[in-house]
Amino acid sequence: MCGIIGIFSHKPVATEIYDGLIHLQHRGQDAAGILTYNKRFHLKKGSGFVRDIFDQQNISRLTGNWGIGHTRYPTNGSSHSVENAQPFMTNSPYGIAMVHNGNLTNYTELKDELEKEDRYHCNSESDLETIMNVFASKLDKLDPTNDIFENICQAVESVFDRAKGGYSVIGIIAGKGMIAFRDPHGIRPFVCGMRINPDETKDYIFSSENTMYYPLGFKYMGNVQPGEVIFINNDGEMRSRILRREKFTPCVFEYVYLSRPDSIINNVSVYRARLRMGQNLAKKWLREYPNIKPDVLIPVPFTSNTAALSAASVLGVRYTEGIYKNQFVGRTFIMPGQEKRRQSVLQKLSPQETEIKDKKVMLLDDSIVRGTTSREVVKLVKDAGAKEVYLISACPPVKYPDFYGIDIPTRSELIAHNKSIEEIREYIGCDILLYQDIEDLVEAITRYGEHNIDRPSMPCLDGIYITNDIDEKKLQELEDMRGANRV
């Protein structure tokens, strides 16, 4: 679920790329990088948080009016290697630099194919390097006297033909301009914006989310469409074309957990979608437990706060932030290792006993993936004196891995894969456990908005992989590869 940003401007962009990455920090804490172009590429990347990698000295040397940036959340390749941090670049043809958000299901096969047939070497474990090499290989074979946009379209078509999975890509072609394209299913989010300068010239921005648009002065234009390629030339002229489009299946987890609530993803407000998740979940509680009413409803902060607000309203229960979260501890979902996640839960969450003691407490969490956080939170609330603890999840049971850019690597890590609801409840230690239904989750996301969503991509919930290339053998192969990368 990495964060990506690209800006074409009529002024230097490095500081704005940095500011944009700060707004995308929640999408990746492992590494970050910025590349700018000013007759040559200027690159800085490193491990850790954005604020720890960049300082005034290295920002000042990132000159140019074209720039791309990335925050890394590893789903493929070692989480400890800076070699896997983006942006990536290649010298031929022209000089190409790219960032991406996503994951390929045929990464291993494509990497081998590139080395044997295209004679392009991949030096990292990153999916992006294979995408970039497929693009570069095709572009290199085309007549350079042709219209550059036509050649770019053919090169992107080659990526669509050969790279299977979910991906959004931003690139700079030296001396030519900036490109942006999105996989034909539109699995990973991709939005764009425009800023009109006092002299009527236009600047453009592409990114995973639009959270930085207002502070940077950009207006939200909408999405990069599934299967679309956009090109901005040296004069700032934009051209675009939808090359192909399959069934539009954006990732469901963007709405459940990953995106910031103030984002607009696929023309759907994440905040509003989460409010509707809370409404639907509360209505299910009233159907199944009409005679049980908690004293307070507490969100597991912070992603669950929005859904908890609306759920409390429907239930007629007092909403209270009875658990305090230390915001300086990273997101446990994207931390490597089960023990590290458990330790982080204990470090970042503390109960407010005045809101919990001697009360029947309903906890609302956005999702239950491994069960580690849920178990520790329930124990924390019971230790604070709760009479009973009910846990409700805005997301249905997570039963399968996701190979399109979400770090749910193996079925053995998923508590719902081979356990019943009652077995999960016993493990977590709550008195009642209630999950959202898949139909209610989809309804909450798609109820409003001119989104054109055919159905969300949710293989982690229903086992349906929209690229139609994952059978049991492939699933095991991908799990083994993910497991090896975690060691």
Q: Which of 211, 246, 281 is the last residue of a domain?
A: 246
- Residue numbers of the domain that contains 297: 269-450
pLDDT of residue 219: 98
Mark whether 300 and 436 lie in a shared domain: yes
Residue 253 lies in a domain: no
Mark whether 53 and 189 lie in a shared domain: yes
Residue 218 lies in a domain: yes
pLDDT of residue 479: 84
Residue 426 lies in a domain: yes
112 is in an annotated binding site: no
pLDDT of residue 477: 86
Closest CA to 65 of 15, 116, 103, 31: 15
Mapping DSSP to helix (H, G, I), strand (E, B) and coil, where does residue 318 land?
strand
Q: Which of the following is catalytic: 2, 122, 153, 251?
A: 2
Mark whether 238 and 361 lie in a shared domain: no
Cβ atoms of residues 308 and 330 within 8 Å:
no
Dist. CA 16–CA 214, nearest whole Å:
12
Whether residue 153 lies in the annotated active site:
no
Mark whether 345 and 198 lie in a shared domain: no
410 is in an annotated binding site: no
Overall residue count recorded for the chain in this entry: 487
Residues of the chain scoring pLDDT < 50: 79, 334, 487
**What CATH number is given to the structural domain containing 408?**
3.40.50.2020
Mark whether 340 and 220 lie in a shared domain: no
36 class by beta-carbon count within 10 Å (0-12 exposed, 13-18 middle, 19+ buried): buried
Find the helix or strand (DSSP H, E) in which 232 lies: strand 228-233
Residue 256 lies in a domain: no
Mark whether 443 and 327 lie in a shared domain: yes
Mark whether 328 and 214 lie in a shared domain: no
pLDDT of residue 478: 85
Mark whether 366 and 335 lie in a shared domain: yes
pLDDT of residue 62: 98
Residue 479 lies in a domain: no
Mark whether 210 and 312 lie in a shared domain: no
Mark whether 279 and 144 lie in a shared domain: no
Mark whether 241 and 282 lie in a shared domain: no
Q: Please state the domain count of the chain.
A: 2
Task: Write down the number of H helices and E strands in the chain.
Answer: 17, 22
pLDDT of residue 346: 65
pTM: 0.93
**What CATH number is given to the structural domain containing 84?**
3.60.20.10
Q: At what angle do helices 270-288 and 305-315 cross, to 10 degrees?
A: 40
Cβ atoms of residues 208 and 167 within 8 Å:
no
Dist. CA 427–CA 479, nearest whole Å:
24
Find the helix or strand (DSSP H, E) in which 246 lies: none
Phi, psi of 51 (to 5 degrees): -65, -25
Task: Write the CB contacts of 105 (distance below 8 Å, at least 6 apart in sequence).
Answer: 164, 165, 403, 404, 465, 467, 469, 470, 474, 478
Phi, psi of 89 (to 5 degrees): -145, 155
**What sign results for the dihedral spanned by CA atoms 258, 263, 264, 270?**
positive
Mark whether 141 and 238 lie in a shared domain: yes
183 is in an annotated binding site: no
Residue 435 lies in a domain: yes
Residue 463 lies in a domain: no
Q: How many CB atoms lie within 10 A of CB 204?
A: 20
Residues 116-129, buried b or exposed e (16+ Cβ, 10 A)? eebebebebbbbbb
Residue 255 lies in a domain: no
pLDDT of residue 77: 52
